[in-house]
Structure 1
Amino acid sequence: MAITLAPAALERVQSYLAAEPAKAGLRFGVKRTGCSGWGYVIGLADEVEAGDTVFADHGVHIVVDADSLPLVDGTEIDFLKAGLNEQFVFKNPKAQGECGCGESFTTDADKAA
């Protein structure tokens, strides 16, 4: 599978990378957080580290660490604007449930544990 960027996210990430051309790309992953278990982490990657997987989408490198990859593989990252609010949103086929506030998600593997 792969990690992909919807057009609005692609445009936003390209603008971030244009402002910081020394960055290796977009770093995308997860961390334990919230009431459900996993929260998304997104930012610019300083470098590609050992064990990282790099996906390319329209010339943008998306860097994912080995621990996060099984939880986010297949995700489409989008970017939404609503009035003054802007945020990245994630269409993750691995996510099987979310907490009420939308801050974290669970997978089938979490339910089995």
Structure 2
Amino acid sequence: MSVTLTPVALERVQRFLARDAAALGLRFGVERTGCSGWGHQAEVAHEQRDGDTVFDAQGVRIFVDARSLPLVDGTEIDFARQGLGEAFVFRNPNATAECGCGESFTTGPG
């Protein structure tokens, strides 16, 4: 089981975490959203919750809740320019399809 950060994403996450003295790491998971069912969620983690699995990405702790873990296992988090902006990009091997706008994804047989 793993969740990893590319070097570019690692640098960006480290910058976010450095701004928050109470930050323990990155909370990563999924939430029901969009037209395809699941959307990736990433935010600063201020606590470890019961049931969390914690991954270490070169010193950055990534907290994943038990419900999200099977849906994000193996995901590589990147940070890239998209159009006129920049955003985190999630390369999730469990996603079998994405909605047209890329906001949400499905897993399992289509």
Aligned length: 110
Note the residue ranges of structure 2 that are not aligned, 5 or more in a row. Answer: none
Q: 1:27 Cα shift? A: 0.4
After TM superposition, give the deviation of residue 24 of structure 1 in Å: 1.2
User: Which aligned runs of 4 or more in structure 1 are off by greater than 3 angstroms?
Assistant: none
Shift of 1:18: 1.1
Percent pairwise identity: 65
- Partner residue in 2 for 1:28: 28
TM-score normalized by structure 1? 0.92
Report which of the two has the higher share of helix. 1
Q: 1:72: Cα distance to partner?
A: 0.2
Give the equivalent residue in structure 1 for 2:63: 63
Q: Distance in 2 between matches of 1:21 and 1:78?
A: 24
| Matching residue of 1:88 | 88
Q: Partner of 1:79 in structure 2? A: 79
Give the root-mean-square deviation of aligned CA atoms.
Answer: 1.3
Match of 1:42 in 2: 42
The gaps in structure 1 that reach 5 residues or longer are none
Q: Which residue of 2 aligns with 1:54?
A: 54
Give the strand-richer structure, 1 or 2.
Answer: 2
Could you say which residue in structure 2 is the equivalent of 1:108?
108
TM-score using structure 2 length: 0.95
Q: Kindly provide the amino acid, as one letter, of the partner of residue 52 in structure 2.
A: D
Q: Tell me the distance in 1 between the aligned counterparts of 2:81 and 2:9.
A: 11
Partner Cα separation in structure 2 for residue 52 and residue 6 of structure 1: 22
